[in-house]
Chain A
Amino acid sequence: MLNYTYENGRRYHAYKSGEYPFPNDVKEQEREDLKHHIFQLVLGGDLHLSPLSPNPQRILDIGTGTGIWAIDMADRYSSAEVCGIDLSPIQPGWVPPNCSFSVENAEDDWIYSSAQAFDFIHLRALAGSIKGWPKLYSQIFKHLKPGAWIESQENDSTCFSDDDSLSKAKDWANWMATVNEVAARFGKVLDVGPRQKQWMIDAGFVDVQERVFKVRRLCSAKY
Protein backbone atom coordinates (compact mmCIF):
# COMPACT_ATOMS: atom_id res chain seq x y z
CA MET A 1 0.00 0.00 0.00
CA LEU A 2 2.92 2.31 0.73
CA ASN A 3 5.18 0.84 -1.95
CA TYR A 4 4.68 3.91 -4.12
CA THR A 5 5.83 4.23 -7.72
CA TYR A 6 8.20 7.08 -8.57
CA GLU A 7 8.27 8.37 -12.15
CA ASN A 8 9.67 11.56 -13.65
CA GLY A 9 10.04 13.16 -10.25
CA ARG A 10 6.47 12.46 -9.15
CA ARG A 11 5.05 9.86 -6.76
CA TYR A 12 2.09 7.60 -7.67
CA HIS A 13 -0.14 5.31 -5.60
CA ALA A 14 0.74 1.64 -4.91
CA TYR A 15 -2.57 -0.18 -4.24
CA LYS A 16 -4.03 -1.19 -7.66
CA SER A 17 -0.92 0.41 -9.14
CA GLY A 18 -1.42 2.28 -12.41
CA GLU A 19 -5.20 2.71 -12.02
CA TYR A 20 -5.09 6.40 -11.02
CA PRO A 21 -3.03 8.39 -13.52
CA PHE A 22 -2.27 11.42 -11.34
CA PRO A 23 0.40 11.80 -8.61
CA ASN A 24 -0.24 11.50 -4.86
CA ASP A 25 2.81 13.38 -3.54
CA VAL A 26 2.83 16.43 -1.29
CA LYS A 27 2.79 18.83 -4.23
CA GLU A 28 -0.34 17.16 -5.60
CA GLN A 29 -1.94 17.10 -2.14
CA GLU A 30 -1.54 20.87 -1.97
CA ARG A 31 -3.33 21.13 -5.32
CA GLU A 32 -6.10 18.87 -3.98
CA ASP A 33 -6.56 21.09 -0.95
CA LEU A 34 -6.67 24.20 -3.16
CA LYS A 35 -9.34 22.44 -5.22
CA HIS A 36 -11.36 21.86 -2.03
CA HIS A 37 -11.08 25.55 -1.24
CA ILE A 38 -12.30 26.50 -4.74
CA PHE A 39 -15.31 24.15 -4.65
CA GLN A 40 -16.21 25.57 -1.24
CA LEU A 41 -15.86 29.15 -2.52
CA VAL A 42 -18.17 28.31 -5.43
CA LEU A 43 -20.75 27.08 -2.89
CA GLY A 44 -20.34 30.20 -0.73
CA GLY A 45 -18.65 28.19 2.02
CA ASP A 46 -20.91 25.16 1.99
CA LEU A 47 -19.73 21.58 1.63
CA HIS A 48 -22.78 20.28 -0.27
CA LEU A 49 -26.11 21.29 -1.78
CA SER A 50 -28.13 18.18 -0.91
CA PRO A 51 -30.84 18.97 1.68
CA LEU A 52 -29.53 16.65 4.41
CA SER A 53 -31.39 16.07 7.65
CA PRO A 54 -29.78 17.92 10.58
CA ASN A 55 -28.44 14.69 12.07
CA PRO A 56 -27.14 12.35 9.37
CA GLN A 57 -25.65 9.10 10.68
CA ARG A 58 -23.39 7.64 8.01
CA ILE A 59 -21.57 9.57 5.28
CA LEU A 60 -19.22 8.17 2.62
CA ASP A 61 -16.68 10.20 0.63
CA ILE A 62 -15.48 8.39 -2.50
CA GLY A 63 -11.96 9.25 -3.66
CA THR A 64 -11.38 11.28 -0.52
CA GLY A 65 -7.80 12.25 -1.48
CA THR A 66 -6.30 14.27 1.36
CA GLY A 67 -9.54 13.73 3.29
CA ILE A 68 -10.16 17.45 3.65
CA TRP A 69 -13.88 17.31 2.72
CA ALA A 70 -14.51 14.31 5.01
CA ILE A 71 -12.77 16.05 7.92
CA ASP A 72 -14.81 19.23 7.40
CA MET A 73 -18.04 17.19 7.16
CA ALA A 74 -17.20 15.34 10.39
CA ASP A 75 -16.74 18.71 12.11
CA ARG A 76 -19.98 20.05 10.62
CA TYR A 77 -22.11 17.00 11.50
CA SER A 78 -21.07 15.64 14.88
CA SER A 79 -23.91 13.09 14.66
CA ALA A 80 -22.32 11.43 11.65
CA GLU A 81 -19.70 8.79 11.13
CA VAL A 82 -17.81 10.02 8.05
CA CYS A 83 -15.78 7.45 6.08
CA GLY A 84 -13.40 8.44 3.31
CA ILE A 85 -12.05 5.87 0.85
CA ASP A 86 -9.18 6.22 -1.60
CA LEU A 87 -6.46 4.23 -3.35
CA SER A 88 -3.85 6.32 -1.52
CA PRO A 89 -3.39 6.34 2.29
CA ILE A 90 -2.39 10.03 2.29
CA GLN A 91 -4.90 11.32 4.84
CA PRO A 92 -3.69 12.90 8.09
CA GLY A 93 -3.63 10.95 11.36
CA TRP A 94 -5.09 13.70 13.53
CA VAL A 95 -8.72 13.85 12.49
CA PRO A 96 -12.09 14.31 14.23
CA PRO A 97 -13.10 11.21 16.23
CA ASN A 98 -16.10 10.66 13.93
CA CYS A 99 -13.97 10.55 10.78
CA SER A 100 -12.09 7.55 9.44
CA PHE A 101 -10.32 6.52 6.26
CA SER A 102 -9.63 3.27 4.46
CA VAL A 103 -7.80 2.20 1.33
CA GLU A 104 -10.35 0.83 -1.10
CA ASN A 105 -11.07 0.85 -4.80
CA ALA A 106 -14.58 2.27 -5.27
CA GLU A 107 -14.83 0.36 -8.56
CA ASP A 108 -14.55 -3.04 -6.80
CA ASP A 109 -17.69 -4.71 -5.45
CA TRP A 110 -18.60 -3.01 -2.17
CA ILE A 111 -18.75 -5.24 0.89
CA TYR A 112 -20.83 -3.03 3.20
CA SER A 113 -23.76 -4.88 4.79
CA SER A 114 -27.31 -3.50 4.56
CA ALA A 115 -26.98 -2.40 8.22
CA GLN A 116 -24.14 -0.15 7.06
CA ALA A 117 -26.21 1.75 4.49
CA PHE A 118 -25.36 5.44 4.14
CA ASP A 119 -27.36 8.67 4.60
CA PHE A 120 -25.17 10.60 2.17
CA ILE A 121 -22.55 9.66 -0.40
CA HIS A 122 -20.32 12.32 -1.92
CA LEU A 123 -17.94 12.20 -4.86
CA ARG A 124 -15.90 15.12 -6.08
CA ALA A 125 -13.37 15.72 -8.86
CA LEU A 126 -13.27 12.08 -9.89
CA ALA A 127 -12.88 12.95 -13.58
CA GLY A 128 -10.19 10.72 -15.04
CA SER A 129 -10.33 8.32 -12.08
CA ILE A 130 -13.31 6.07 -12.83
CA LYS A 131 -13.72 3.48 -15.58
CA GLY A 132 -17.28 2.32 -14.95
CA TRP A 133 -19.49 5.23 -13.94
CA PRO A 134 -22.84 3.39 -14.34
CA LYS A 135 -21.60 0.53 -12.12
CA LEU A 136 -20.36 3.04 -9.53
CA TYR A 137 -23.74 4.77 -9.45
CA SER A 138 -25.63 1.51 -9.13
CA GLN A 139 -23.42 0.50 -6.18
CA ILE A 140 -24.03 3.92 -4.60
CA PHE A 141 -27.79 3.46 -5.09
CA LYS A 142 -27.71 0.02 -3.47
CA HIS A 143 -25.74 1.20 -0.42
CA LEU A 144 -27.81 4.30 0.38
CA LYS A 145 -30.77 4.19 2.76
CA PRO A 146 -34.17 4.85 1.16
CA GLY A 147 -34.57 8.64 0.90
CA ALA A 148 -30.82 9.24 1.28
CA TRP A 149 -28.80 11.58 -0.94
CA ILE A 150 -26.02 11.31 -3.50
CA GLU A 151 -24.02 14.35 -4.59
CA SER A 152 -21.42 14.73 -7.32
CA GLN A 153 -19.23 17.82 -7.67
CA GLU A 154 -17.16 18.15 -10.84
CA ASN A 155 -15.59 20.86 -12.93
CA ASP A 156 -15.78 20.36 -16.69
CA SER A 157 -12.56 19.48 -18.45
CA THR A 158 -13.29 21.91 -21.26
CA CYS A 159 -13.33 25.71 -21.23
CA PHE A 160 -15.53 28.25 -22.92
CA SER A 161 -15.38 31.99 -23.60
CA ASP A 162 -17.99 34.61 -24.39
CA ASP A 163 -15.61 36.32 -26.83
CA ASP A 164 -12.97 34.84 -29.16
CA SER A 165 -10.51 34.07 -26.31
CA LEU A 166 -10.73 30.32 -26.68
CA SER A 167 -9.81 30.41 -30.36
CA LYS A 168 -6.83 32.64 -29.53
CA ALA A 169 -5.57 30.54 -26.61
CA LYS A 170 -4.50 27.85 -29.08
CA ASP A 171 -1.86 26.09 -26.99
CA TRP A 172 -4.17 25.86 -24.02
CA ALA A 173 -7.06 24.64 -26.17
CA ASN A 174 -4.82 22.06 -27.85
CA TRP A 175 -3.55 20.81 -24.51
CA MET A 176 -7.09 20.42 -23.19
CA ALA A 177 -8.18 18.55 -26.32
CA THR A 178 -5.14 16.25 -26.15
CA VAL A 179 -5.47 15.48 -22.46
CA ASN A 180 -9.17 14.69 -22.90
CA GLU A 181 -8.41 12.38 -25.80
CA VAL A 182 -5.52 10.58 -24.06
CA ALA A 183 -7.52 10.11 -20.84
CA ALA A 184 -10.28 8.50 -22.91
CA ARG A 185 -7.73 6.20 -24.56
CA PHE A 186 -6.45 5.32 -21.08
CA GLY A 187 -10.03 4.21 -20.32
CA LYS A 188 -10.98 6.98 -17.87
CA VAL A 189 -12.82 9.84 -19.48
CA LEU A 190 -12.11 13.32 -18.11
CA ASP A 191 -15.15 15.25 -19.27
CA VAL A 192 -17.65 13.50 -17.04
CA GLY A 193 -19.22 16.61 -15.46
CA PRO A 194 -21.96 16.98 -18.08
CA ARG A 195 -22.88 13.29 -17.79
CA GLN A 196 -23.37 12.98 -14.02
CA LYS A 197 -27.03 13.96 -14.06
CA GLN A 198 -28.07 11.34 -16.61
CA TRP A 199 -26.00 8.62 -14.92
CA MET A 200 -27.78 9.38 -11.65
CA ILE A 201 -31.21 9.24 -13.28
CA ASP A 202 -30.30 5.98 -15.04
CA ALA A 203 -29.26 4.44 -11.70
CA GLY A 204 -32.74 5.14 -10.29
CA PHE A 205 -32.27 8.37 -8.36
CA VAL A 206 -35.17 10.84 -8.20
CA ASP A 207 -35.43 14.61 -7.64
CA VAL A 208 -32.10 14.94 -9.47
CA GLN A 209 -30.97 18.57 -9.57
CA GLU A 210 -28.03 20.06 -11.42
CA ARG A 211 -26.60 23.46 -10.55
CA VAL A 212 -23.97 24.91 -12.86
CA PHE A 213 -21.63 27.75 -11.87
CA LYS A 214 -19.60 29.69 -14.40
CA VAL A 215 -16.13 30.32 -13.01
CA ARG A 216 -13.40 32.43 -14.56
CA ARG A 217 -10.65 29.99 -15.43
CA LEU A 218 -7.84 32.32 -16.34
CA CYS A 219 -7.01 35.51 -14.55
CA SER A 220 -7.84 38.70 -16.34
CA ALA A 221 -6.41 42.15 -15.75
CA LYS A 222 -9.89 43.61 -16.15
CA TYR A 223 -12.27 42.64 -13.38
Chain B
Amino acid sequence: MYVQALSLDALEPVSMALFTRVLRMSAEEVQAMLVGPRKDIMNPSFHLYIKFRFVYGRKPLLDEQ
Protein backbone atom coordinates (compact mmCIF):
# COMPACT_ATOMS: atom_id res chain seq x y z
CA MET B 1 0.00 0.00 0.00
CA TYR B 2 2.82 2.41 0.85
CA VAL B 3 4.55 1.53 -2.38
CA GLN B 4 1.35 2.16 -4.30
CA ALA B 5 1.10 5.61 -2.70
CA LEU B 6 4.74 6.24 -3.51
CA SER B 7 4.22 5.23 -7.15
CA LEU B 8 1.18 7.43 -7.45
CA ASP B 9 3.01 10.38 -5.94
CA ALA B 10 6.07 9.75 -8.10
CA LEU B 11 4.43 10.13 -11.50
CA GLU B 12 4.36 13.92 -11.68
CA PRO B 13 7.61 14.87 -9.88
CA VAL B 14 9.62 12.20 -11.68
CA SER B 15 8.28 13.11 -15.14
CA MET B 16 7.71 16.85 -15.09
CA ALA B 17 11.19 18.33 -15.37
CA LEU B 18 12.56 15.48 -17.50
CA PHE B 19 9.70 15.56 -20.01
CA THR B 20 9.40 19.36 -20.22
CA ARG B 21 13.16 19.96 -20.39
CA VAL B 22 14.32 17.01 -22.48
CA LEU B 23 11.25 16.20 -24.61
CA ARG B 24 10.09 19.85 -24.70
CA MET B 25 6.57 18.79 -23.77
CA SER B 26 4.24 21.33 -22.15
CA ALA B 27 3.18 20.84 -18.52
CA GLU B 28 -0.36 20.15 -19.74
CA GLU B 29 0.87 17.45 -22.12
CA VAL B 30 2.79 15.81 -19.27
CA GLN B 31 -0.27 15.89 -16.99
CA ALA B 32 -2.41 14.35 -19.73
CA MET B 33 0.16 11.60 -20.21
CA LEU B 34 -0.06 10.64 -16.52
CA VAL B 35 -3.79 9.87 -16.50
CA GLY B 36 -3.40 6.35 -17.93
CA PRO B 37 -0.51 5.26 -15.67
CA ARG B 38 -2.41 6.61 -12.66
CA LYS B 39 -5.39 4.38 -13.53
CA ASP B 40 -3.10 1.37 -13.93
CA ILE B 41 -1.62 1.98 -10.47
CA MET B 42 -5.10 2.00 -8.94
CA ASN B 43 -6.26 -1.11 -10.81
CA PRO B 44 -6.51 -3.89 -8.20
CA SER B 45 -6.32 -6.69 -10.78
CA PHE B 46 -2.69 -5.89 -11.67
CA HIS B 47 -0.08 -7.68 -9.59
CA LEU B 48 3.12 -5.82 -10.17
CA TYR B 49 6.28 -6.09 -8.14
CA ILE B 50 9.45 -4.10 -7.78
CA LYS B 51 12.87 -5.15 -6.56
CA PHE B 52 14.54 -3.36 -3.68
CA ARG B 53 18.28 -4.00 -3.62
CA PHE B 54 20.66 -3.60 -0.73
CA VAL B 55 24.28 -3.91 -1.79
CA TYR B 56 27.16 -3.59 0.65
CA GLY B 57 30.87 -4.18 0.61
CA ARG B 58 34.05 -3.57 2.52
CA LYS B 59 37.19 -1.66 1.70
CA PRO B 60 40.06 -4.17 2.05
CA LEU B 61 42.33 -3.91 5.09
CA LEU B 62 45.81 -2.57 4.39
CA ASP B 63 47.41 -6.05 4.31
CA GLU B 64 44.71 -7.23 1.88
CA GLN B 65 45.34 -4.41 -0.62
Contacts and interface: CB of A to CB of B under 8 A. Distances in A.
Interface string B27-44: 100100110110111111
Given A34-B5, A50-B56, A214 B18 contact: no
A150 B57 contact: yes
Contact of B19 (A35, A171, A182): A182
Contacts of A218: 3-4, 7, 40-41, 43, 46-48
Contacts of A155: 50-53
Contacts of B44: 219-222
A94 B47 CA distance: 41
Interface string A138-182: 000100111111111111101111110110111110110011001
Interface stretch (A40-48, A57-65, A66-74): A40-48
Contacts of A215: 3, 49-52
Contact of B57 (A18, A43, A205): A205
Given A7-B20, A212-B53, A206 B3 contact: no
Given A217-B4, A218-B7, A185 B50 contact: no
A201 B18 contact: no
User: How extensive is the interface on chain A, given as a class?
Assistant: 35 or more
Contacts, number: 233
Contacts of B36: 170-172, 174-175
Interface string B1-30: 111111101111111111111110001001
B63 to A, nearest CB: 9
Nearest to B2: A38
A109 interface: no
Interface of B: 1-7, 9-23, 27, 30, 33-34, 36-37, 39-62, 64-65
3 pairs of A and B residues whose beta carbons are closest in the complex: A171-B36, A205-B57, A172-B40
